[in-house]
Chain A
């Protein structure tokens, strides 16, 4: 059996007609597994022709933790701490999707307050995750201070999450049937003040980074993806929206209570550069932060006292069958395919459709013809979290 890593050296592309007779060789360069631009442990094997990337082959599996197999030996509540560790920058969204999967099989009704609190935490998490993406993307391109400003705001979100759930990163907050703890009025007031400061901060980030000439030179017209490319590779989330296709599950297939909320789906329109380049993918994330703030304000207006936990049996046993549930996470569309056997306490199979995995498959497609420095900008703009790619 031939595997993809022993196909031998790829053929050198002929770049210049005059040098056709000269023997040229491609140079193999390993980017990662410990390269700061790969955001985790991703190894990308790059074949370079001088400074131009000829082929890029991502090698996955450095962070593989057998999460899918392991969850077959855990009860349904015990899977949640492992689901947290998929996308560790957006744990709330991961938990939420998993909880919806089990609830759909159980037929549990989630109380209204719990649903609203889930939307509140989910959107706060989206802001936190996009702030991280913004900070690290600027860091990849050589700007250090935006990272610190982004972390100052993200810290406020983490502090709120720590107060309600008890942990800063891996919350185990959204449970099957509802949420663990209730938010106090004081905390909700702090969320409101956070929304106000965040709007001002977003303007500051825009002045600091988005319109900066150096940043624009590095990102505009770099790594252009057409809508057809996104469809071919199954890209979702800000990558798809950056290419100008308006697709957001919160709007197109509303789950939870999203149909009650008024918000826009930002897409790349090419104010700078062209639609589908790194700059547009970046700006979609920054605009989504503003949209999330809109949703959070509406949630706080709608919140009324009530129960936060639905009726769930003490030992969860699902009926036989299978279900696929998907939701819009900060990085794209996350799906859980769960197969359950009758009266079993554990999932028979839990398959994760991860948005980062499909987005990372775009890299071999974008890379050929790029400069190495542009390739770094492209990897950063796709915003991958390796915990989710490898599972």
Chain B
């Protein structure tokens, strides 16, 4: 199909094609050869050296349950329905705490679970959060042996302890 050097080509055409083949190949090889020296490495030796992620990078979700008002807006915004929230009314006369930006917490949060295996990291839940307690953290190393391990209960003490590491100020 292609215009290869076939029997009918004249001697002149034959040598023209030959020279063209050699020069273009050498030219391309020279471009690659220049990469032997003087070019900065772009690869990062991963476990030892880590890339600094941009501030807006969307990695694993973290919910600061102490600031959550159980409004369920994040669960409604989620396109894959991976956020499970349950809450109950506070008994009468109980002290109503306030979040860091002054919103009263009227409900007691009893369950806040995110199935990270379902999460598509779109960031829609974080944009609707009125108290900005649900955020994307910069943790990206959380592979698990079982799929159940991807469900994070943000009311568990060990997960609450992440707060010191993730939430600044």
Residue in contact with B28 in the complex, picked from A81, A159, A172, A208, CB distance below 8 Å:
A208
Q: Is A30 an interface residue (CB 8 A)?
A: no
Are B24 and A221 in contact, with the CB atoms below 8 A?
A: no
Contact of B122 among A81, A163, A208 (CB under 8 A): A81
Size category, A interface: 35 or more
Cβ B42 vs Cβ A155 within 8 A: yes
Shortest Cβ distance from B20 into A: residue? A213
Q: Does A152 contact B (CB under 8 A)?
A: yes
| B76 closest partner in A (C-beta) | A75
CB <8 Å contact, A166 and B28 = no
- For B18, the closest partner residue in chain A by CB is A213
Cβ of B31 within 8 Å of any chain A Cβ, yes or no, is: yes
Contact residues of B between 42 and 100, Cβ < 8 Å to A: 42, 53-58, 77-79
- Of residues 35 through 83 on chain A, the ones whose CB sits less than 8 Å from some CB of chain B are 74-75, 77-82
Tell me which residues across on chain B come within 8 A of A292, comparing CB atoms: none
Q: Are B1 and A213 in contact (CB under 8 A)?
A: no
Residue of B whose beta carbon sits closest to that of A212 = B24
Q: Are the C-beta atoms of A81 and B79 separated by less than 8 Å?
A: yes
A162 vs B79: C-alpha distance when bound (angstroms): 21
Q: How far is the CB of B40 from chain A (nearest CB, A)?
A: 10
Decide: B124 and A207 in contact? CB cutoff 8 A: no
Q: A155-B42, A207-B27, A220-B2 are in contact. Are A163 and B120 (CB under 8 A)?
A: no
- A208 contacts which chain B residues (CB < 8 A)? 27-28, 31-32
The residue of chain A having its C-beta at the shortest distance from the C-beta of B53 within the complex is A162
Between-chain CB contacts (< 8 Å), 10 pairs: A78-B78, A78-B124, A163-B55, A166-B54, A172-B123, A181-B56, A208-B28, A217-B3, A220-B2, A221-B2
Which 5 A-B pairs give the minimum distances between C-beta atoms? A78-B79, A81-B122, A213-B21, A166-B56, A166-B58
**Extra A-B contacts (18), CB below 8 Å, given A81-B124, A212-B24:** A74-B79, A77-B77, A78-B78, A78-B79, A80-B122, A162-B56, A167-B121, A170-B120, A170-B122, A209-B28, A211-B24, A213-B17, A213-B24, A214-B25, A217-B3, A220-B3, A273-B3, A374-B1
